[in-house]
Structure 1
Amino acid sequence: MGNMATEITAFLLTISGWILVSSTLPTDYWKVSSVDGTVITTATFWSNLWKTCVTDSTGVSNCKDFPSMLALDAYIQVCRGLMIASVCLGFFGAILALVGMKCTKIGGSETTKARLTVLSGFHFILNGLCSLIACSIYAHRITTDFFDPLFVAQKFELGAALFIGWAGSVLCILGGLIFCLSLSEGFSMRAEYSYRGAASFVTARNKHSRTANSLQKEAGGPSRQFGRNAYV
């Protein structure tokens, strides 16, 4: 029962993290224009992995998609690939977790379900690592330009999507580790049970052999005495 509760907790953590990571893809604010050192702000610039937008003082936004994928900066392309891979890994990890958990009635034997559970744990760990690396690369580019004194273009600050992605990554990695640890605990309990079963079997066998030897001695004593008296 304890192992089942652990798996359910890990599943809730990983699904919550996967939802947070997936929500960062359509989120607009990956980076927002900084107002540091600006006296009058007439427009706010913000962008994500797919488009760049500007909002004027009246609240009207004008967005423009990136015209060419090949003309994009390398870090945006890398972040796109990592985030898409992260979402895919989380999707397959959720399916494997549903099949491999003990509270479900599908998946086959306990050994097969255990293998599916640990495989889903590795999927979620990779899911969290991919999104964590993507958000960190994007944030590193923003902070590098912000603190560069020779960078004279518009400077940006970290957007809300990065913090959501980091939080989802931590939940996915934590849930994946719990999946793997719950499996190792299950194997240790099985090994301990097998050892106790083998020890009890050996003890019972020794007792049976001692009982048989004692009965044989009791039965053999009079027979040997009877044999000696028979020749007298």
Structure 2
Amino acid sequence: MKETLQIVALFLAFFGAVTAFISLHHHTWKVSTDYGNVIITSNIFENLWMSCAEDSTGIYDCWYFSSLLALPGFVQACRALMITSIVLGMFGLIFTLVGMQCSKIGGENYIVKGRIAVLGGVFFILQGLSTMIAVSWYAFNITQEFFDPLYPGTKFEIGDGLYIGWCSATLALISGCCLLCVCGNDSKEERMSYPFQSQRRGTPYTTSVISQQPNHYGRNAYV
């Protein structure tokens, strides 16, 4: 059962990392709204890297942002958080593959493997938090501009890229929590049973040896 949960957590984390990569490169983090507009000539959609304009025929043209420093601060922060999220996800996958009990990578020391798997779960949780902060921060700015009656620029709505990012963060957080619960309990149980395992493997355990020594004295020897 525990190995099954580890495998499920690994697959969830893998899909979380893939969807985070898809969300980062998705074109529609925000889409221009039709609300309040009578005549719509083109749709504008943006992500962290580029802005695109689509005409009524469905043909669109994109251009990358010319300067990083000219971008708003929250866009730069979201870029950094999403890239960090993908890197953390890769580390989490590597550590989880090494620390899984059904994996032969890293030997058969299950105490060390359990700790490595726990570290992989920590990476997945950090990945989920980074993605969640990035997409939520970006969505907050979209909604803030949308409901601001004095905002002079083009108003946008939440795009598909943000929903993909929220799904990615949820998968990463679930997988990280599963690994922490399962592998953390495994490590505690294995540490408690380690002396008894050593005794079965031939390593003498002091209290067991003393308790197994025969008693050559009768009751009258203590009188």
TM-score, normalization by structure 1: 0.83
Instruction: Answer yes or no: is 1:145 the counterpart of 2:145.
Output: yes
Is the partner of 1:88 in helix, strand or coil?
helix
Q: Does the 8 A contact of 2:111 with 2:187 survive in 1?
A: no
Is the partner of 1:25 in helix, strand or coil?
helix
Deviation (angstroms), 1:12? 1.1
Higher deviation after alignment, 47-56 or 189-198: 189-198
Residues 187 and 96 of structure 1: CA distance in aligned 2, closer, same or farther (over 3 Å)? closer
Deviations 1:71-106 (A, max 9, x none): 111111001000000001101111111111111111
CA separation in 2, counterparts of 1:111 and 1:182? 13
Q: Which residue of 2 is the match for residue 4 of structure 1?
A: 3
CA separation in 2, counterparts of 1:85 and 1:50? 16
Matched letter for residue 2 of structure 2? N
CA separation in 2, counterparts of 1:111 and 1:203? 23
Q: Does the 8 A contact of 2:115 with 2:184 survive in 1?
A: no
Instruction: Answer yes or no: is 1:177 the counterpart of 2:177.
Output: yes
Q: Which residue of 2 is the match for residue 230 of structure 1?
A: none
Q: Which residue of 2 is the match for residue 82 of structure 1?
A: 81
Instruction: Answer yes or no: is 1:156 the counterpart of 2:188.
Output: no
Is the partner of 1:59 in helix, strand or coil?
coil
Deviations 1:26-62 (A, max 9, x none): 1100000000111221110001111001001111111
Is the partner of 1:9 in helix, strand or coil?
helix
Residues 195 and 99 of structure 1: CA distance in aligned 2, closer, same or farther (over 3 Å)? closer
CA separation in 1, counterparts of 2:187 and 2:127? 25
Residues 32 and 86 of structure 1: CA distance in aligned 2, closer, same or farther (over 3 Å)? same
Is the partner of 2:25 in helix, strand or coil?
coil
CA separation in 1, counterparts of 2:136 and 2:146? 15
Q: Which residue of 2 is the match for residue 102 of structure 1?
A: 101
Matched letter for residue 45 of structure 2? W
Q: Which residue of 2 is the match for residue 23 of structure 1?
A: 22
The count of corresponding residues between Structure 1 and Structure 2 is 213
Deviation (angstroms), 1:121? 0.7
Deviations 1:143-186 (A, max 9, x none): 00000011122100000010110111011011011111112221
Deviation (angstroms), 1:192? 5.9
Higher helix share: 1
Matched letter for residue 156 of structure 1? F
TM-score, normalization by structure 2: 0.87
Higher deviation after alignment, 136-145 or 55-64: 55-64
CA separation in 1, counterparts of 2:194 and 2:98? 26
Residues 163 and 204 of structure 1: CA distance in aligned 2, closer, same or farther (over 3 Å)? same
Q: Which residue of 2 is the match for residue 229 of structure 1?
A: none
CA separation in 2, counterparts of 1:111 and 1:192? 11
Is the partner of 1:72 in helix, strand or coil?
coil
Matches within 5 A, 1:1-232: 2-108=1-107, 109-190=109-190, 193=193, 212-213=216-217, 216-217=218-219
Is the partner of 2:36 in helix, strand or coil?
coil
Percent of paired sites with the same residue? 38
Ranges in structure 2 where 5+ consecutive residues have no aligned partner: 200-205
CA separation in 2, counterparts of 1:63 and 1:191? 57
Residues 37 and 118 of structure 1: CA distance in aligned 2, closer, same or farther (over 3 Å)? same
Ranges in structure 1 where 5+ consecutive residues have no aligned partner: 221-232
CA separation in 2, counterparts of 1:137 and 1:169? 13
> Which of the pair has more CA radius of gyration?
1
Is the partner of 1:32 in helix, strand or coil?
strand
